[in-house]
Chains A and B, each alone.
Chain A
Amino acid sequence: MMLAIARKEFIHILRDRGTFLLVTIGPLFLMVIFTYTLTTDVKEAPLAVIDLAHNDASTALIDRLDASPKIHVERHLASADETDNLFKRGEVVAAVVIPADYGQVSLTRVPQVEAIIDGTEPISAETVLTEVYQIADAHSRELAGDALQSDLFEPPIYTTQERLYNDALSSKVDFYPGLMGMMLGLPAIALSLSLARERENGTLEQLMATPIAKRALLLGKLWPYLGFGMVDVYALLALGQWVYDVPFTGNLLAYSLIAFLFMFASLGMGLVVSVIARTQQVAVVIAILVFFIPPFFMSGTFFPVDAMPQLVQLEMMSLPATHFVTAGKAIYLQGTALRELWLQVVLLTVISVEMLEVSTFIFRKKVVGGFRRPAPPVLTTKENALS
């Protein structure tokens, strides 16, 4: 009987264009949009330069700044006074003041390059600041070396860095596995709608009069969406691998297991939403609040979980997306072995079972005894009573 439901639901998905798009093209389409728009990589950030030195050294510095892929020298200003207006108009995100004595090497006086940044554009401005610092620092060491006729000049402390995984520090690589958690919420939204639709169409009442068990009915509805969800998983992996250069480094089987458990758990939540919601409108609003918004903020995709208040952290533990993003990201980007991620596997399994039981419980409670007060009686004039 569960199979009968699954088969019927599968046909519904194929026949209903909206649902079909939601569970097939939907996640890919949204992913494309998100990867284009959601990036913290800074490219060609506009910079103003106030060159008070006007010598070879200052010109060389400006050329180097402009040559950086992260910076574009947008404006040359005579004085720093104009900077504020440019910030207000959003023309530049930072300004650099090159002092008049730039390029003159003296052991007693060190010329200071000053950077002024627009605090309302923190990501771009901070990136520019770091870049300016590095370029100016390198340039000053070269100048000092030239002046002392020696290439032995070294600052007393020197830090080096080595980056493991995501060498280019590309935000796309960082986001991609997390974004997958969001995109894979779409099948759950579609599932939330399906029971509410049956309630609206009256077919639910008809189903209730058949000997199908409540749990079998819910599980039967879940399987086809899980199938489509898994297809989405592999499609998104392929998209990441070959279109966005986000290399998959882990074990595909391990990832599939995590993704399967995550899909099951979030579809289970979709069932809970769908047994609670009376109409499709209510279902879609709850589903967006449950599947889209919390993973966005809370699953560690964009904002570090460790920095959140403990209560919120606790709440996040109950969201399947949190565990999927943690485990998925580890397998995807770092090739972490599944045995290291046993906690996520256990938690996702627990959430799956729990959601199925909760939805079955509510469903039993609601349908038996849950019919609303019928419409008020119609006046019994001859015309409408006896038509």
Chain B
Amino acid sequence: MSDYAIHVEHLTRKFGDFTAVNAIDFSVETGEVFGFLGPNGSGKTTTIRMLLGLLKPTDGTAHVLGTDIRHATRQFLAQVGYMSQKFSLYSDLTVANNLRFFGRSYGLYGQRLQQRMEFVIELAGLGDFRHTPIHELSGGWLQRLALGAAIIHEPKLIFLDEPTAGVDPVSRRDFWELLYTLSQSGTTILVTTHYMDEAEHCERVGFIYNGDMIAVGTPSEIIEQVVPGQVIEVHPPDALAAQQKLTSAMRSGELAAHGVNLFGAAVHVLTTDVASTQAYLREVYGATYQSMPTLEDAFIALVQQADHANGGSPVPA
């Protein structure tokens, strides 16, 4: 267990009769970038709050950096960093004031505080904005500053809760560059996201859906397991109608596939029998495109399975 930065067993949290997190198990190895994926409201934030000791679990256990989170102490908090879902910095304070404040909150002072502040400002490229009140900064800068504030005390492990939500693609890429830099210096990172392209950058990912952990593994493991074979893409004039038609063809056995998903104006057909499926589709829709399935394909398949097991409707109204 000591090799794990995070080790979770049957972790459960209920709010009244609503189960936000349902007996989940997973582990994160030291130094890993772990992607915690799932739609909004699936239990990601609740899990992180429990792992930080901010929220008591209803059942189950979790050890974070060897500490039982039911007995999280201030010493424990000094070893972890947290960037919460909203950009939780003080908008009326300047960049330097925010960093100084969070540095002091983590017990840094004097020379070391100065050094760490400079390091973070350098890392986030905020040198020109040192004395700018942060409400004047745009999303990408804010996000890098928030990351900087979360790592100012050199934590061994950081939790990032949807750090890239609402940020433009270029800033998102820059942000991930930063995460890699941190990861290479040995920091363990648990990051939640609902961008599947980001998830593919993680060493391992866990899917949480309606409080259940429905898959854990490396991206390629999950794809292999959930959506084996290949994706054949077609572009019919009416994608929705085509998807319905192909789905019934698949159910009747006429089409040798195990998934038909709508992707914008395209339809993705998942199959291990590439040759016959391609022939079938080409006959109906003309040109087909072949590709490897992605995490997104896997996630859709997983969600469909979970909903099917749940009796159709994914959400109680």
Contacts and interface: CB of A to CB of B under 8 A. Distances in A.
Interface residues of B, number: 57
Interface string A191-214: 000000000011101111111110
B93 A385 contact: no
B88 A201 contact: yes
B90 interface: yes
Interface residues of A, number: 40
Given A4-B101, A206-B84, A213-B74, A11 B15 contact: no
B209 A382 contact: no
Contact of B55 (A8, A12, A371, A379): A371
B41 A378 contact: yes
Given A376-B315, A380-B314, A11 B74 contact: no
A210 B107 CA distance: 9
Interface of A: 1, 3-5, 7-8, 11-12, 15-16, 201-203, 205-213, 367-369, 371-380, 382, 384-387
Interface stretch (B46-54, B59-67, B216-224, B245-253): B46-54
A1 B107 contact: yes
Contact of A12 (B54, B74, B92, B262): B92
A373 B20 contact: yes
B308 interface: no
Interface in B13-45: 15-16, 18, 20, 39-43, 45
Interface string B50-85: 001111100000000000000000110110101011
Which of A3, A212, A372, A386 gathers most chain B CB within 10 Å? Answer: A386
Contact of B15 (A206, A373, A379): A373
Given A8-B97, A8-B101, A368-B56, A377 B90 contact: no
B194 A387 contact: yes
| Those 7 A-B pairs whose CB atoms lie nearest each other, nearest first | A4-B104, A373-B15, A377-B41, A206-B88, A211-B74, A202-B86, A209-B82
B263 interface: yes
A385 B194 contact: yes
A293 to B, nearest CB: 31
B89 interface: yes
Contacts of B75: 211
A15 B92 contact: yes
16 contacts: A1-B104, A4-B100, A11-B93, A12-B90, A15-B93, A203-B90, A208-B54, A209-B84, A371-B55, A372-B15, A374-B15, A374-B45, A377-B314, A377-B315, A378-B40, A379-B314
A164 B263 CA distance: 90
A376 B42 CA distance: 8
B84 A202 contact: yes
A211 B78 contact: yes
Contacts of A206: 82, 84, 88-89
A377 B39 contact: yes
B106 interface: yes
Interface in B196-251: 196, 209-210
Given A15-B133, A207-B105, 10 more contacts: A1-B105, A11-B92, A15-B92, A201-B86, A201-B88, A206-B89, A212-B74, A369-B55, A380-B315, A384-B40
B86 A211 contact: no
B300 interface: yes
A178 B240 CA distance: 75
Nearest to B109: A4
A367 B72 CA distance: 14
A236 B57 CA distance: 52
B289 to A, nearest CB: 18
B299 interface: yes
A304 to B, nearest CB: 46
Contact of B303 (A11, A209, A376, A385): A385
Nearest to A387: B194
Nearest to B209: A380
A374 B20 contact: yes
Contacts of A384: 39-40
B106 A11 contact: no
Contacts of B55: 368-369, 371
Nearest to B14: A373
A280 B74 CA distance: 28
A367 B53 CA distance: 10
B145 to A, nearest CB: 12
Contact of B54 (A1, A11, A367, A373): A367
Given A12-B90, A374-B41, A374-B46, A386 B196 contact: yes
B133 to A, nearest CB: 8
B102 interface: yes
A212 B77 CA distance: 9
Contacts of A212: 74, 105
Given A1-B104, A374-B20, A387-B195, A209 B77 contact: yes
A371 to B, nearest CB: 6
Contacts of A11: 92-93, 97
B88 A203 contact: yes
B154 interface: no
Interface string B304-315: 000100000011
Nearest to B264: A382
B40 A4 contact: no
B296 interface: yes
Contacts of B210: 377
Contacts of A15: 92-93, 133
Given A4-B101, A8-B90, A374-B45, A386 B296 contact: yes
B48 to A, nearest CB: 10
B54 A205 contact: yes
Nearest to A377: B41
B45 to A, nearest CB: 7
A198 B39 CA distance: 27
A16 B105 contact: no
Contacts of B90: 8, 12, 203
Which of A3, A11, A15, A205 gathers most chain B CB within 10 Å? Answer: A205
A386 B133 CA distance: 34
A211 B54 contact: no
B39 A380 contact: yes
Nearest to B263: A382
Which of B45, B84, B91 gathers most chain A CB within 10 Å? Answer: B84
Interface string B270-304: 00000000000000000000000000100110010
